[in-house]
Amino acid sequence: MAVHAHPDDESSKGAATMAKYVSEGVDVLVVTCTGGERGSILNPKLQGDTYIEENIHEVRRKEMDEAREILGVSQEWLGFVDSGLPEGDPLPPLPEGCFALEDVETAAARLVRSIRSFRPQVITTYDENGGYPHPDHIMTHKITMVAFDGAADAERFPEDEYGPVFQPQKLYYNQGFNRPRTVALHEALLARGMESPYGEWLERWKEFERAERTLTTYVPCGDFFEIRDKALIAHATQIDPDGGWFRVPLELQREVWPTEEYELAKSLVDTSLPEDDLFAGIRENA
């Protein structure tokens, strides 16, 4: 189960990993917390389209349907309302009724129901910083942490309301946008005399002085990068197919960095680090 904040997050974070496991016969469910209603139209080719602007919720649902089909996963909506990304100094208040203002325990209850129904052995989500500090990403982290433990707690979440208890065995944070990967691709592009889209990223990293995350798990999935990119392009309002996401040739990505990375946050099974499989420690005991 991959728990994400908005439609398109599943295609930009861990999509090749999901496609790889689908190809192996693993059941994969994407849980999307919000409808992305307050997301901006980031593709310049679609900006100014009145129909899209007036029907963004419906459009983004259709984009999600297409991406889901490309990845071969199942998908469900938790039904919360996008909080938007507040900008300014000071930051404006979040809109009333949005996901980030929900009570964490109450919001987690919906995810508990999904976990008990789907019964995943592995769950992926964001770290405590949300991957980046979008309020919906941070809230997604919060409810996933509660639900991971709460799914096995019948007193906290009664079975007659949320279904029979179930305990997932491992929880991971997506860490695909990590500094080692970015540096490796940046240097490989420059060494080949090619322009790199990562120069500004690396400069911003210096400005933020973010602590490096612990990468524990490197899933080999280079053969599925093309599927990942197709799923991402399906989110047409969010992704410019001629933008920076796609400036690094797939052949170079597969040669230099053919994995997607995760941080193991919780494990109820024995495993040794680093891993190359989200199911390490689970397959051996299956």
Which of 239, 218, 237, 217 has its CA nearest to residue 228? 239
192 and 66 part of one domain: no
Domain of 104 in residue numbering reads as 2-177+215-277
Which residues lie below 8 Å from residue 222, measured CB to CB, with a gap of 6+? Answer: 16, 253, 254, 258, 259
Q: Which two tokens stand for residue 273?
A: 């680090």
Q: Which residues are annotated as a binding site?
A: 6, 9, 137
Q: Are residues 150 and 12 in the same domain?
A: yes
In this structure, the answer to whether residues 95 and 19 fall within a common structural domain is yes
29 occurs within a structural domain:
yes
| 207 and 240 belong to one structural domain | no
pLDDT digits (tens, 9 = 90+) for 215-236: 999 999 999 999 999 999 999 9
Residue 6: give its domain's CATH number: 3.40.50.10320
pLDDT score at 286: 67
Q: Which parts are annotated binding residues for Zn(2+)?
A: 6, 9, 137
Q: What is the pLDDT of residue 209?
A: 60
Please name the residues in contact with 74: beta carbons below 8 A apart, sequence gap of 6 or more. Answer: 27, 28, 29, 30, 68
Is 285 part of any domain? no
* Reduced 3-state DSSP string for 250-277: HHHHHHHCCEEEEEEEEECCCCCCCECC
Do strands 74-80 and 217-220 pair parallel, antiparallel, or not at all (unpaired)?
unpaired
- Average pLDDT across each block of 10 residues of the chain; the chain has 286 residues. List them in order: 98 98 98 94 92 94 98 98 90 94 98 98 97 94 98 98 98 95 96 92 75 93 98 96 88 98 98 97 84
Q: Are residues 155 and 263 in the same domain?
A: yes
Whether the ω angle into residue 90 lies within 30 degrees of 0, i.e. cis, is yes
Quote the pLDDT of residue 23. Answer: 98
Reported pTM: 0.95
Cα–Cα nearest to 136, from 12, 28, 38: 38
Question: Structural domain tally of the chain?
Answer: 2
pLDDT, one tens digit per residue, over 2-29 is 999 999 999 999 999 999 999 999 999 9
Question: What's residue 205's pLDDT?
Answer: 78
pLDDT number for residue 46: 93
Instruction: For residues 240 and 260, state if they share a domain.
Output: yes
